[in-house]
Amino acid sequence: MIEEKNTNISPNHFTHYVGVTFDHNKRSYYFGSEGLELKEGDKVVVETVRGLEVGTISYEPVEIEKYKSVLELKPVIRKATDVDLRLHEINAKDAVFALDICKNEVEKLGLDMRLICCEYTLDKSKIIFTYVADDRVDFRELLKVLASRLHTRIELRQIGSRDKAKLVGGIGMCGLPLCCSTFLNEFDGISISRAKNQMLAINIPKLSGHCGKLLCCLKFEDDAYTDLKAFFPDVGTKVFIDKVEYVVNSINVISKTVRVDSPNDIKVLSLEDFKKQTGWKKPKPKHEANKVVQ
Asked whether residue 32 is domain-assigned, the answer is yes
Contact status, residue 153 vs residue 127, Cβ threshold 8 Å: yes
Q: At residue 167, does pLDDT exceed 80? A: no
How does strand 153-159 pair with strand 238-241? unpaired
One domain for residues 150 and 94: yes
- pLDDT (mean) for 282-291: 57
What residue type is assigned to position 64 of the chain? I
Q: Summarize pLDDT for 173-214 with one digit per residue, the tens.
A: 888 888 877 777 666 778 888 888 888 888 888 888 888 888
Asked whether residue 293 is domain-assigned, the answer is no
Q: What is the pLDDT of residue 285?
A: 59
Among 257, 253, 249, which Cα is nearest to 273's? 257
Nearest-angstrom CA–CA distance, 226 and 215? 17
Domain end: 58, 80, 102, which one? 80
Q: Is 39 exposed, middle or buried (0-12, 13-18, 19+ CB in 10 A)?
A: exposed
Query: Where does the chain have alpha helices with state H?
Result: 82-109, 140-150, 161-168, 192-197, 217-220, 222-229, 271-278, 286-289
One domain for residues 155 and 94: yes
Structurally, the chain folds into a number of domains equal to 4
Backbone angles phi, psi at 74, to 5 degrees: -90, 155
- pLDDT (mean) for 39-57: 92
The CATH number of whichever domain residue 139 belongs to comes to: 3.30.300
How far lies 141's CA from each of 101, 111, 117, 148, 227, in Å? 14, 10, 20, 11, 55
Domain end: 209, 230, 251, which one? 230
One domain for residues 178 and 116: no
Half-sphere exposure of 151 (CA within 13 A, CB side): 1
One domain for residues 153 and 105: yes
Mean predicted lDDT score pLDDT of the chain: 86
Q: What is the pLDDT of residue 59?
A: 86
Asked whether residue 290 is domain-assigned, the answer is no
One domain for residues 59 and 91: no
Asked whether residue 164 is domain-assigned, the answer is no
Q: At residue 8, does pLDDT exceed 60? A: no
Identify the top-confidence range among 95-109, 127-141, 157-171, 197-211. Answer: 95-109
Domain containing 256 equals 238-282
Domain end: 80, 99, 128, which one? 80
Asked whether residue 6 is domain-assigned, the answer is no
Contact status, residue 222 vs residue 197, Cβ threshold 8 Å: yes
**Residues pairing with 127 in the sheet:** 120, 154
Asked whether residue 2 is domain-assigned, the answer is no
One domain for residues 101 and 74: no
Nearest-angstrom CA–CA distance, 234 and 237? 6
Nearest-angstrom CA–CA distance, 31 and 74? 5
Nearest-angstrom CA–CA distance, 215 and 281? 34
One domain for residues 95 and 122: yes
Asked whether residue 29 is domain-assigned, the answer is yes
Asked whether residue 60 is domain-assigned, the answer is yes
Q: Summarize pLDDT for 61-117 with one digit per residue, the tens.
A: 999 999 988 888 999 999 999 999 999 999 999 999 999 999 999 999 999 999 988
pLDDT band at 57 (very low <50, low <70, confident <90, very high): very high
**Residues pairing with 120 in the sheet:** 127
pLDDT band at 10 (very low <50, low <70, confident <90, very high): very low
One domain for residues 18 and 70: yes
